């Protein structure tokens, strides 16, 4: 081990220990304020009570997590596919880019919260479609923006090399444009995955079927079951975290061996 | 058959400020197996001429033939290999993957590709590095990979646009020697763009001197240094004489020597 690596080793350990330490300190403070000092408002339950609720109700929490996660994933998949297709078209044909740019800018600034009640009403109280639609719109923007950017990152010298090798358009796309854009696509997906979960969850606050993490949080918070509501919040965090980690891992896998 | 024949070749770029004549009335023949350097100050059109021969840009006027075919056909038939100042390697491919790229594009079988890559890696002295990625290599090694890639299809013409321009002097001289050897071994004609006078003289059979505004050929000098491109050549009086001759051709007048003042 070189001296530089020897220096890095504690730093790497610190990278893992630091956030865990911060989390533990916050939990301890939380515990102190609620359970020892009894200084918290009624709506803030003890962390112990929340863990207890998770243990008692994990079956229904998991069930609702499944509903919300499915909505988020369907939205992410549909939004991403549409984004990739449109970005490819925009990158290939200038006029299409001109037509899409203002549309995407408009979609990017539409507050999801604003259209969700309309969509929920539009598709009815028994359909998950409105929620999935909201997640798809939310996931679309980061994927589109990143993929379009990625498709334009090919370097002139690489294009020259391929042209000089007599490569046709399809070959150029396969060996140059696509690999160049891939890290951008994965960055877009990683960002979109978190946003899709948030969108799917928030959409539940505005109607639709009486299931899912968001619906549960809203109704338990209102009926005074604060600890159970927080247990559901933990479930929501878990969905977002798992999706984010899966996407980060995918990004690592695809971009391994490449310089950043 | 001549490798390259240019007759009255010109190139005009349309810009917002009006048309810019990059190259005008170029008459040049490069024989098979001949090493020809294009030298001149920035804006003299030397790189433009190379790009026209490679069909990376198309000539505005005149006729350009590569092995008796239009430049476009020669490009599609892979009659030339090309290397640029930037190595232009694909960073997500290994050295072997980069060298094999042209072969892969032309549907050469996996087995034949592997054999050819091994041959080429040996030719440029990179046998031990075929599994590395480009960012793990030095600039000089990357440039050697680019040269190996240019040679993949055994072209009879090699086009090089300041391939050693970004390298340090020692690596540069080493690679010049390597290139001279490779050119002799393969018997390929070379069109070599540079702005280094010693480099042009050391490598070339003929040095084409160019001038800017508008880009044109002002002089063509035959070096007549024979086939031996060894380090000893760099110390020989003939070599210095040719360097002086090219310098004078570039400046358009005899250069006053310090000891003659």
Same domain, yes or no: A161 and A125:
yes
**Residue B209 resides in a domain:** no
Residue A5's pLDDT band, with cuts at 50, 70 and 90, is low
Q: Which of B193, B143, B243, B164 is nearest to B42 (CA)?
A: B193
pLDDT > 70: percent of chain A: 95
Nearest to B92 among A157, A164, A258 (CB): A258
Residues B236-253 have a mean pLDDT of: 85
Q: How many angstroms separate the CA atoms of B200 and B206, rounded? A: 9
Residue A1's pLDDT band, with cuts at 50, 70 and 90, is very low
Residue A3's pLDDT band, with cuts at 50, 70 and 90, is low
DSSP H helices, chain A, are 3-31, 47-92, 94-109, 112-123, 129-151, 156-164, 169-172, 178-203, 213-222, 226-255
Q: Looking at per-residue confidence, does B261 or B187 come out higher?
A: B187
Same domain, yes or no: A140 and A36:
no
Determine how many CB atoms are found less than 10 A away from the CB of residue B125: 12
A66-77 pLDDT, tens digit per residue, is: 999 999 999 999
CATH, residue B73? 3.40.50.300
Residue matched to tokens 């969509």: A119
B27-74 pLDDT, tens digit per residue, is: 899 998 899 999 988 888 889 999 999 999 888 888 898 998 898 888
* CA R_g for chain B: 19
Hey, are the CB atoms on A167 and B105 less than 8 Å from each other? yes
Nearest to A179 among B54, B92, B106 (CB): B92
Which residues of chain B are within 8 Å of residue A164 when distances are taken between CB atoms?
A: 54, 56, 75, 80-82
* Burial class of A208 by CB neighbour count within 10 A (0 to 12, 13 to 18, 19+): buried
On whether the CB atoms of residues A71 and A112 are closer than 8 A, the answer is no
| Pick from A5-9, A209-213, B214-218: least confident | A5-9
Which residues of chain A are within 8 Å of residue B78 when distances are taken between CB atoms?
A: 165-166
User: A63: which 2 tokens?
Assistant: 């069930």
Q: Which of B249, B124, B109 is nearest to B178 (CA)?
A: B124
Number of domains in chain A: 2
Same domain, yes or no: A70 and A98:
yes
**How does the average pLDDT of chain B come out, rounded?**
87
B81: CB partners within 8 A, 6+ apart: A164, B102, B149, B150, B151, B152, B153, B155, B157, B158, B159, B188
Q: Which of B209, B194, B192, B202 is nearest to B150 (CA)?
A: B192
Give me the pLDDT at residue A145, please: 92
**Residue B246 resides in a domain:** no
Residue B194's pLDDT band, with cuts at 50, 70 and 90, is very high
On whether the CB atoms of residues B214 and B12 are closer than 8 A, the answer is no
Hey, are the CB atoms on B135 and A259 less than 8 Å from each other? yes
Name the helix (H) or strand (E) containing B96. helix B95-99
Give me the pLDDT at residue B261, please: 46
Residue A188 has pLDDT above 90, yes or no: yes
Residue B251 has pLDDT above 90, yes or no: no
Same domain, yes or no: B137 and B73:
no
Give me the pLDDT at residue A6, please: 57
By residue range, what is the domain housing residue A249?
54-255
Residues B130-147 have a mean pLDDT of: 90
Prior bond of B214 cis (ω within 30°): yes
Q: How many angstroms separate the CA atoms of B83 and B88, rounded? A: 8
Number of domains in chain B: 2
Which residues of chain A are within 8 Å of residue B55 when distances are taken between CB atoms?
A: 163
By residue range, what is the domain housing residue B59?
1-79+155-203
Which residues of chain A are within 8 Å of residue B101 when distances are taken between CB atoms?
A: 161, 165, 175
Substitution target from B82, B99, B105 for chain A, most A beta carbons within 10 A: B105
Contacts made by residues B17-26, CB under 8 angstroms, sequence distance 24+:
B21/B214, B21/B215, B22/B48, B22/B214, B22/B215, B23/B48, B23/B49, B23/B52, B23/B214, B23/B215, B23/B216, B24/B214, B24/B215, B24/B216, B25/B62, B25/B216, B26/B62, B26/B216, B26/B217
Cα of B214 to nearest chain A Cα, Å? 25
**Residue B162 resides in a domain:** yes
A110-155 pLDDT, tens digit per residue, is: 777 788 888 888 887 788 888 899 899 999 999 999 999 999 999 9
Last residue of a domain, one of B166, B182, B203: B203
Residue A7 has pLDDT above 70, yes or no: no
Residues A7-23 have a mean pLDDT of: 82
A98-119 pLDDT, tens digit per residue, is: 888 888 888 888 777 788 888 8
**Residue B20 resides in a domain:** yes
Q: In Å, how far are A11, A57, B231, B258 from B173, measured between CA atoms?
A: 43, 75, 9, 26
Residue matched to tokens 């380090």: B231
Predicted complex ipTM: 0.87
User: A53: which 2 tokens?
Assistant: 């609720």
**Residue B16 resides in a domain:** yes
Substitution target from A150, A161, A255 for chain B, most B beta carbons within 10 A: A161
**Residue A26 resides in a domain:** yes
A83-101 pLDDT, tens digit per residue, is: 999 998 888 888 888 888 8
Same domain, yes or no: B22 and B67:
yes
Cα of A5 to nearest chain B Cα, Å? 18
Residue A2 has pLDDT above 70, yes or no: no
Same domain, yes or no: A195 and A250:
yes
**Residue B219 resides in a domain:** no
**Residue A260 resides in a domain:** no
On whether the CB atoms of residues A183 and A255 are closer than 8 A, the answer is yes
Residue A260 has pLDDT above 50, yes or no: no
Last residue of a domain, one of B165, B188, B203: B203
| Pick from A17-26, A35-44, B21-30: least confident | A35-44
Which residues of chain A are within 8 Å of residue B133 when distances are taken between CB atoms?
A: 257-259
Give me the pLDDT at residue A46, please: 86
Give me the pLDDT at residue B125, please: 86
φ/ψ region of A172 (left if φ > 0, alpha if ψ in -120 to 50, else beta) reads: alpha
Same domain, yes or no: A73 and A14:
no
Nearest chain A Cα to B90, which residue?
Answer: A158
Name the helix (H) or strand (E) containing B153. none
How many residue contacts between A and B have a Cβ separation below 8 Å? 53
Instruction: State the pTM of this model.
Output: 0.76
**Residue B239 resides in a domain:** no
Residues A14-33 have a mean pLDDT of: 89
3-class SS at B80? strand
3-class SS at A178? helix
User: A204: which 2 tokens?
Assistant: 């539940």
């Amino acid at each position: 081990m070189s001296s530089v690596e020897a220096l890095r080793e504690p730093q790497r350990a610190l990278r893992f220990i630091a956030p865990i330490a911060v989390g533990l300190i916050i939990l301890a403070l939380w515990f102190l304020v609620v359970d020892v000092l009894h200084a918290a408002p009624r709506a803030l339950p003890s962390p112990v009570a929340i863990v207890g609720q998770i243990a008692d109700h994990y079956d229904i929490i998991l069930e609702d997590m499944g509903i919300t996660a499915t909505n988020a994933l369907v939205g992410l998949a549909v939004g991403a596919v549409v984004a990739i297709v449109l970005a490819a078209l925009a990158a290939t044909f200038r006029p299409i880019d001109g037509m899409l740019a203002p549309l995407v800018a408009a979609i990017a600034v539409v507050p999801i919260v604003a259209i969700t009640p309309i969509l929920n009403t539009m598709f009815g109280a028994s359909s998950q479609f409105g929620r999935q639609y909201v997640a798809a719109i939310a996931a679309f923007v980061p994927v589109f923006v990143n993929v379009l950017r990625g498709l334009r990152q090919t370097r002139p010298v690489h294009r020259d090399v391929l042209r000089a090798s007599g490569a046709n358009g399809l070959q150029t796309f396969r060996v140059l444009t696509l690999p160049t854009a891939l890290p951008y696509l994965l960055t877009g997906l990683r960002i979109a995955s978190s946003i899709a979960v948030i969108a799917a969850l928030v959409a539940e606050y505005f109607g639709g079927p009486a299931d899912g993490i968001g619906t549960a949080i809203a109704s338990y918070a209102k009926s005074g079951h604060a600890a159970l509501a927080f247990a559901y919040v933990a479930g929501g965090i878990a969905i977002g975290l798992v999706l984010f980690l899966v996407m980060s891992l995918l990004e690592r896998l695809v971009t391994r061996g490449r310089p950043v | 058959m001549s490798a390259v024949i240019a007759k009255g070749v010109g190139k005009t770029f349309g810009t917002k400020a009006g048309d810019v004549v990059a190259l005008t009335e170029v008459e040049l023949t490069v024989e098979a197996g001949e090493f020809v350097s294009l030298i001149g100050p920035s804006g003299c059109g030397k790189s433009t001429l190379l790009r026209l021969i490679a069909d990376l840009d198309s000539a505005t006027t005149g006729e350009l033939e590569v092995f008796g075919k239009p430049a476009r056909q020669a490009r599609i038939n892979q009659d030339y290999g090309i290397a640029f100042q930037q190595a232009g390697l694909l960073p997500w491919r290994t050295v072997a993957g980069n060298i094999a790229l042209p072969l892969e594009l032309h549907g050469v079988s996996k087995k034949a590709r592997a054999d050819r890559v091994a041959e080429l890696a040996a030719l440029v002295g990179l046998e031990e590095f075929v599994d590395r990625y480009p960012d793990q290599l030095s600039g000089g090694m990357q440039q050697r990979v680019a040269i190996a890639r240019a040679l993949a299809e055994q072209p009879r013409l090699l086009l090089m646009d300041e391939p050693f321009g970004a390298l340090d002097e020692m690596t540069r001289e080493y690679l010049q020697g390597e290139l001279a050897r490779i050119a002799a071994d393969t018997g390929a004609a070379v069109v070599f763009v540079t702005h280094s006078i010693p480099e042009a003289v050391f490598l070339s059979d003929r040095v084409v001197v160019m001038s800017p505004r508008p880009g044109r050929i002002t002089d063509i000098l035959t070096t007549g240094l024979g086939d031996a491109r060894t380090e000893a050549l760099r110390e020989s009086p003939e070599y210095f004489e040719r360097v002086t001759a090219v310098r004078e051709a570039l400046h358009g007048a005899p250069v006053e020597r310090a000891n003659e003042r």
